Amino acid sequence: MPELPDVEGFREVLARHGEGHRVERVEVADAGVLRGVSAARLRRELKGRRLGTPTRHGKWLIAPTGGPTLLLHFGMTGRLVHCAAKDEPHPHDRVVVALRGDGQLRFRDQRKLQGIRLEDDAGVRRVLDSQGPDAAEVDRAGFEELMTGRRARVKSVLIDQCALAGLGNLLADEILWRARLHPARRADSLDRDELRRLHGRMRGVLRSAVPTGRVPPRRSWLTGHRDDPDPHCPRCGHPLRRGRVSGRGTVWCPHCQPEDG
Protein backbone atom coordinates (compact mmCIF):
# COMPACT_ATOMS: atom_id res chain seq x y z
CA MET A 1 0.00 0.00 0.00
CA PRO A 2 1.45 3.40 -0.91
CA GLU A 3 2.08 5.39 2.25
CA LEU A 4 3.59 8.82 2.88
CA PRO A 5 7.13 7.95 1.65
CA ASP A 6 5.74 6.38 -1.55
CA VAL A 7 3.56 9.39 -2.31
CA GLU A 8 6.50 11.70 -1.65
CA GLY A 9 8.37 9.65 -4.24
CA PHE A 10 5.51 10.11 -6.71
CA ARG A 11 5.61 13.85 -5.98
CA GLU A 12 9.27 13.87 -6.96
CA VAL A 13 8.45 12.02 -10.21
CA LEU A 14 5.84 14.65 -11.03
CA ALA A 15 8.14 17.53 -10.07
CA ARG A 16 11.07 16.16 -12.08
CA HIS A 17 9.21 15.18 -15.23
CA GLY A 18 5.98 17.18 -15.23
CA GLU A 19 6.47 20.55 -13.57
CA GLY A 20 6.54 23.33 -16.16
CA HIS A 21 5.49 21.04 -19.03
CA ARG A 22 2.32 21.43 -21.04
CA VAL A 23 -0.16 18.60 -21.43
CA GLU A 24 -0.39 17.44 -25.04
CA ARG A 25 -3.27 15.04 -24.48
CA VAL A 26 -4.84 12.72 -21.92
CA GLU A 27 -5.62 9.09 -22.66
CA VAL A 28 -8.09 7.31 -20.38
CA ALA A 29 -7.79 3.56 -20.75
CA ASP A 30 -10.01 2.81 -17.75
CA ALA A 31 -12.41 5.39 -16.32
CA GLY A 32 -12.75 3.20 -13.22
CA VAL A 33 -10.01 5.27 -11.56
CA LEU A 34 -11.80 8.60 -12.15
CA ARG A 35 -13.65 10.08 -9.19
CA GLY A 36 -16.20 12.82 -9.81
CA VAL A 37 -14.91 13.63 -13.28
CA SER A 38 -15.66 12.09 -16.67
CA ALA A 39 -12.98 11.00 -19.10
CA ALA A 40 -14.17 13.63 -21.58
CA ARG A 41 -13.92 16.44 -19.03
CA LEU A 42 -10.50 15.29 -17.82
CA ARG A 43 -9.19 15.34 -21.38
CA ARG A 44 -10.77 18.71 -22.15
CA GLU A 45 -9.68 20.46 -18.96
CA LEU A 46 -6.08 19.26 -18.94
CA LYS A 47 -5.17 19.60 -22.61
CA GLY A 48 -2.84 22.56 -23.08
CA ARG A 49 -2.46 23.19 -19.34
CA ARG A 50 1.00 23.70 -17.87
CA LEU A 51 1.65 21.59 -14.78
CA GLY A 52 2.72 23.55 -11.72
CA THR A 53 4.73 22.67 -8.64
CA PRO A 54 3.23 19.54 -7.04
CA THR A 55 2.68 19.23 -3.30
CA ARG A 56 1.61 16.42 -1.00
CA HIS A 57 -0.60 16.16 2.06
CA GLY A 58 -0.71 12.75 3.68
CA LYS A 59 -1.45 10.27 0.91
CA TRP A 60 -2.80 12.93 -1.50
CA LEU A 61 -0.68 14.22 -4.38
CA ILE A 62 -1.75 17.71 -5.46
CA ALA A 63 -0.89 18.98 -8.95
CA PRO A 64 -1.89 22.55 -9.92
CA THR A 65 -2.51 23.16 -13.62
CA GLY A 66 -3.31 26.87 -13.83
CA GLY A 67 -6.97 25.85 -13.83
CA PRO A 68 -8.57 23.00 -11.90
CA THR A 69 -6.26 21.04 -9.63
CA LEU A 70 -5.39 17.41 -10.25
CA LEU A 71 -5.67 15.30 -7.10
CA LEU A 72 -4.27 11.78 -7.05
CA HIS A 73 -4.78 9.13 -4.38
CA PHE A 74 -3.06 5.79 -4.88
CA GLY A 75 -5.23 3.53 -2.74
CA MET A 76 -3.75 0.08 -2.21
CA THR A 77 -1.84 -0.48 -5.44
CA GLY A 78 -1.50 2.82 -7.31
CA ARG A 79 1.70 4.33 -8.70
CA LEU A 80 2.76 7.29 -10.81
CA VAL A 81 5.47 6.46 -13.33
CA HIS A 82 7.27 8.43 -16.01
CA CYS A 83 7.72 6.71 -19.36
CA ALA A 84 8.76 7.51 -22.91
CA ALA A 85 6.01 7.42 -25.51
CA LYS A 86 7.66 4.37 -27.13
CA ASP A 87 7.53 2.34 -23.91
CA GLU A 88 5.12 -0.55 -23.98
CA PRO A 89 1.86 0.07 -22.09
CA HIS A 90 1.43 -1.76 -18.83
CA PRO A 91 -1.83 -3.72 -18.33
CA HIS A 92 -2.63 -1.52 -15.32
CA ASP A 93 -1.93 1.86 -16.95
CA ARG A 94 -5.34 3.48 -16.40
CA VAL A 95 -4.65 7.12 -17.36
CA VAL A 96 -1.78 8.50 -19.45
CA VAL A 97 -0.91 12.21 -19.47
CA ALA A 98 1.20 12.86 -22.58
CA LEU A 99 3.45 15.92 -22.26
CA ARG A 100 4.82 18.13 -25.00
CA GLY A 101 7.85 16.30 -26.29
CA ASP A 102 8.27 12.61 -25.57
CA GLY A 103 7.38 12.12 -21.91
CA GLN A 104 4.31 10.51 -20.40
CA LEU A 105 3.04 10.34 -16.84
CA ARG A 106 1.11 7.12 -16.26
CA PHE A 107 -1.30 6.46 -13.40
CA ARG A 108 -0.86 2.73 -12.88
CA ASP A 109 -3.19 0.88 -10.51
CA GLN A 110 -4.25 -2.74 -10.30
CA ARG A 111 -7.13 -2.61 -7.82
CA LYS A 112 -8.56 0.86 -8.57
CA LEU A 113 -9.67 1.53 -5.00
CA GLN A 114 -8.97 5.28 -5.22
CA GLY A 115 -7.85 7.34 -8.20
CA ILE A 116 -7.93 10.75 -9.85
CA ARG A 117 -10.01 13.84 -9.10
CA LEU A 118 -10.17 17.23 -10.78
CA GLU A 119 -11.23 19.95 -8.35
CA ASP A 120 -11.55 23.70 -8.11
CA ASP A 121 -10.11 25.51 -5.08
CA ALA A 122 -13.20 24.81 -2.98
CA GLY A 123 -13.08 21.11 -3.88
CA VAL A 124 -9.42 20.88 -2.93
CA ARG A 125 -10.20 22.47 0.44
CA ARG A 126 -13.04 20.01 1.04
CA VAL A 127 -10.76 17.06 0.41
CA LEU A 128 -7.86 18.33 2.49
CA ASP A 129 -10.00 19.68 5.32
CA SER A 130 -11.16 16.12 5.96
CA GLN A 131 -7.54 15.11 6.67
CA GLY A 132 -5.56 15.43 9.87
CA PRO A 133 -2.17 17.13 9.98
CA ASP A 134 0.53 15.64 7.81
CA ALA A 135 2.56 13.07 9.75
CA ALA A 136 5.85 14.46 8.43
CA GLU A 137 5.02 18.00 9.58
CA VAL A 138 3.10 17.73 12.84
CA ASP A 139 5.14 18.94 15.81
CA ARG A 140 5.25 17.25 19.19
CA ALA A 141 2.66 19.51 20.78
CA GLY A 142 0.24 18.99 17.91
CA PHE A 143 0.83 15.24 18.01
CA GLU A 144 0.17 15.05 21.75
CA GLU A 145 -2.98 17.12 21.30
CA LEU A 146 -4.42 14.85 18.61
CA MET A 147 -3.73 11.77 20.74
CA THR A 148 -5.13 13.18 23.99
CA GLY A 149 -8.54 11.88 25.01
CA ARG A 150 -8.82 9.29 22.24
CA ARG A 151 -10.16 5.99 23.51
CA ALA A 152 -9.27 4.14 20.30
CA ARG A 153 -6.26 1.86 20.08
CA VAL A 154 -3.07 3.71 19.33
CA LYS A 155 -2.55 1.95 16.00
CA SER A 156 -6.07 2.90 14.95
CA VAL A 157 -5.33 6.56 15.60
CA LEU A 158 -2.02 6.44 13.73
CA ILE A 159 -3.66 5.10 10.56
CA ASP A 160 -6.82 7.21 10.80
CA GLN A 161 -6.32 9.77 8.02
CA CYS A 162 -8.82 12.12 9.68
CA ALA A 163 -6.58 12.19 12.77
CA LEU A 164 -3.12 12.02 11.19
CA ALA A 165 -2.52 11.98 7.44
CA GLY A 166 0.02 9.77 5.69
CA LEU A 167 0.63 6.66 7.79
CA GLY A 168 -0.53 3.22 6.78
CA ASN A 169 -0.20 -0.30 8.10
CA LEU A 170 3.54 -0.82 7.58
CA LEU A 171 4.61 2.52 8.98
CA ALA A 172 2.32 2.25 12.00
CA ASP A 173 3.70 -1.18 12.95
CA GLU A 174 7.29 0.02 12.44
CA ILE A 175 6.81 3.16 14.52
CA LEU A 176 5.09 1.34 17.38
CA TRP A 177 7.80 -1.33 17.43
CA ARG A 178 10.49 1.35 17.63
CA ALA A 179 8.57 3.14 20.39
CA ARG A 180 8.10 -0.18 22.29
CA LEU A 181 4.34 0.31 22.44
CA HIS A 182 1.77 -2.42 21.95
CA PRO A 183 -0.50 -1.58 18.98
CA ALA A 184 -3.65 -2.39 20.98
CA ARG A 185 -2.90 0.11 23.77
CA ARG A 186 -5.57 2.79 24.09
CA ALA A 187 -4.27 6.14 22.93
CA ASP A 188 -5.52 7.86 26.06
CA SER A 189 -3.52 5.42 28.22
CA LEU A 190 -0.18 6.74 26.95
CA ASP A 191 1.65 9.03 29.33
CA ARG A 192 3.54 12.11 28.23
CA ASP A 193 6.90 10.34 27.98
CA GLU A 194 5.37 7.61 25.83
CA LEU A 195 3.75 10.20 23.55
CA ARG A 196 7.06 12.03 23.18
CA ARG A 197 8.81 8.77 22.36
CA LEU A 198 6.13 7.82 19.85
CA HIS A 199 6.36 11.18 18.09
CA GLY A 200 10.15 11.00 18.00
CA ARG A 201 10.17 7.49 16.54
CA MET A 202 7.60 8.53 13.94
CA ARG A 203 9.78 11.43 12.83
CA GLY A 204 12.84 9.18 12.71
CA VAL A 205 11.14 6.48 10.63
CA LEU A 206 9.85 9.07 8.16
CA ARG A 207 13.26 10.73 7.86
CA SER A 208 14.75 7.36 6.92
CA ALA A 209 11.93 6.19 4.65
CA VAL A 210 11.10 9.32 2.63
CA PRO A 211 14.44 9.47 0.72
CA THR A 212 13.90 5.88 -0.45
CA GLY A 213 10.37 6.57 -1.75
CA ARG A 214 8.99 3.56 0.09
CA VAL A 215 8.82 1.81 3.44
CA PRO A 216 12.20 0.06 3.17
CA PRO A 217 12.27 -3.65 4.10
CA ARG A 218 15.62 -3.36 5.88
CA ARG A 219 16.67 -6.30 7.99
CA SER A 220 17.26 -3.99 10.96
CA TRP A 221 13.60 -2.90 10.71
CA LEU A 222 10.48 -4.76 11.75
CA THR A 223 9.33 -4.27 8.15
CA GLY A 224 12.21 -6.43 6.95
CA HIS A 225 10.93 -9.44 8.92
CA ARG A 226 7.14 -9.21 8.90
CA ASP A 227 6.82 -11.51 5.87
CA ASP A 228 9.38 -14.09 7.02
CA PRO A 229 7.98 -17.62 7.41
CA ASP A 230 9.18 -17.64 11.02
CA PRO A 231 9.66 -13.96 11.91
CA HIS A 232 11.83 -12.90 14.81
CA CYS A 233 12.39 -9.46 16.29
CA PRO A 234 15.55 -7.85 14.86
CA ARG A 235 16.12 -6.13 18.22
CA CYS A 236 15.70 -8.88 20.82
CA GLY A 237 15.38 -12.08 18.75
CA HIS A 238 12.01 -13.01 20.27
CA PRO A 239 9.42 -14.53 17.88
CA LEU A 240 7.17 -11.88 16.41
CA ARG A 241 3.43 -12.18 16.71
CA ARG A 242 0.86 -11.65 13.99
CA GLY A 243 -2.74 -10.71 14.61
CA ARG A 244 -5.41 -8.16 13.84
CA VAL A 245 -5.77 -4.82 15.57
CA SER A 246 -8.83 -2.80 14.63
CA GLY A 247 -9.35 -5.12 11.68
CA ARG A 248 -5.87 -4.62 10.23
CA GLY A 249 -3.14 -7.23 9.90
CA THR A 250 -0.57 -6.32 12.55
CA VAL A 251 2.91 -7.53 13.52
CA TRP A 252 4.56 -6.80 16.86
CA CYS A 253 7.09 -8.17 19.33
CA PRO A 254 5.39 -9.34 22.54
CA HIS A 255 8.72 -9.02 24.39
CA CYS A 256 9.54 -5.44 23.30
CA GLN A 257 5.90 -4.34 23.16
CA PRO A 258 4.12 -5.84 26.19
CA GLU A 259 0.37 -5.36 26.16
CA ASP A 260 0.30 -4.03 29.72
CA GLY A 261 2.77 -1.26 28.81
**Which of 240, 235, 239 lies closest to 251 in space, CA to CA?**
240
- Alpha-carbon distance of 171 to 215, in angstroms, equals 7
Q: Are 115 and 73 in contact (CB under 8 A)?
A: yes
∠ Cα 182 145 127 (to 5°) = 95
How far is Cα 110 from Cα 106, in angstroms, rounded to an integer? 13
Interstrand relation of 60-63 and 69-73 (parallel, antiparallel or unpaired): antiparallel
Distance CA 243, CA 251 (A): 7
Helix, strand, or coil here: 25? strand
Q: Cα–Cα distance between 49 and 136 in angstroms, integer?
A: 30
Q: How far apart are CA 179 and CA 253, in angstroms?
A: 11
Provide the annotated active-site residues: 2-3, 59, 248
